[in-house]
A = this chain, B = another copy of it.
Amino acid sequence: MTAARSPAAGRLARFSFNQATATGWPLEELVAACVAAGVPGVGLWREPVQEYGLDRAARLVRDAGLTVTSLCRGGFFTTNGWREANLRAIEEAATLATGELVLVSGGLPAGSRDLDGARERVADALAELAPHAAAAGVRLAVEPLHPMFCSDRCVISTLGQALDLAERFDPATVGVVVDTYHLWWDDTVYRQIARAGDRIAAFQVADWVTPLPAGVLLGRALPGRGCVDLRRLRDAVDAAGYRGPIEVEVFDAELWSRPGAAVLADTVTAYLTHVA
């Protein structure tokens, strides 16, 4: 079955499968399965792409006719070597022909309690990277992460805060990621999505379930299995003018233990049922 012939192709037109949803699935298998299922886009991660080989990965997805909807991730501006790492990430995004490089800012430096300072370092880093990103045709997509990650992964915790930062720059160069898992709880999120408008660089979807596992990283769920009003959030990004891909990105240890093909099939079904 090809994308053109698939009955789901119309409804999958905006769907993108984020590689992290089936972590460990070999890239060639993932790409072939996406093509077979009529999935038009994939969200890729730097580490598995580097492992496969950057140019080879770029060729693989291009030859398959897939769009790389985003590259995860740059950022971590509070660690040493952030500048070089992010310049490389921009190049990688350009090579993969994706316009959106997802940035996770990083947490507090070890031993620090200076949250304002860490946040200001993010602004400084964006200012330094923006010209390079613009030259490469890549947008820096600032992703606010759930406040439970504030100390150790991402000091940018709300969409409002991400926009306060992003708005210092050209919307074509610095945008924001709207991820349902990270933002659903915020009583200001709908106002902020409207404010975001053409700064929405990516829309990522995962559901919230409890109890959270130790470390809280791998407790996400496929759309429909949790308590997030995904369709309302999706309607909100659409109403804000977003017409781009809808990436399903789920970190879940149980999901990762299953064969990639089964994960993709369940993800497509969950997307069609609860998001599309």
**A contact residues vs B (CB 8 Å cutoff):** 108, 112-115, 119, 146-148, 150-152, 157-158, 160-161, 164, 184-188, 208, 210-216, 226-229
Residues B146 and A161 in contact, CB atoms below 8 Å apart: no
- Given A148-B147, A211-B215, A213-B214, does the pair A157, B187 have CB atoms closer than 8 Å? yes
Q: A146-B147, A148-B146, A227-B112 are in contact. Are A186 and B214 (CB under 8 A)?
A: no
Could you tell me if A212 and B211 are in contact, using CB atoms closer than 8 angstroms?
A: no
Q: Using Cβ atoms and an 8 Å threshold, which residues of chain B touch A216?
A: 148, 211-212, 216
Name the CB-closest residue of B to A226: B151
Q: What residues on B are CB-neighbors of A215 within 8 Å?
A: 211-212
Q: Does B148 lie within 8 Å of A212, measured CB to CB? A: yes
Complex Cα spacing A226 to B115, Å: 13
Which single residue of chain B is at the shortest CB-CB distance from A214? B214
Closest to A224 in B: B113
Given contacts A157-B187, A158-B187, A187-B157, contact A210 B119 (CB under 8 A): no
Interchain CB contact under 8 A, A161 and B148: no
Across-interface contacts of A213 in B (CB, < 8 A): 214
Closest to A217 in B: B211
Complex CA gap A108/B210 in Å reads 12
Give the residues in chain B near A152, CB-CB below 8 Å: 210-211
Known pairs A113-B228, A148-B216, A212-B216; list 7 more (Cβ under 8 Å). Answer: A115-B184, A115-B229, A147-B148, A152-B210, A157-B186, A157-B187, A158-B187
> Would A187 and B119 count as touching, CB distance under 8 A?
yes
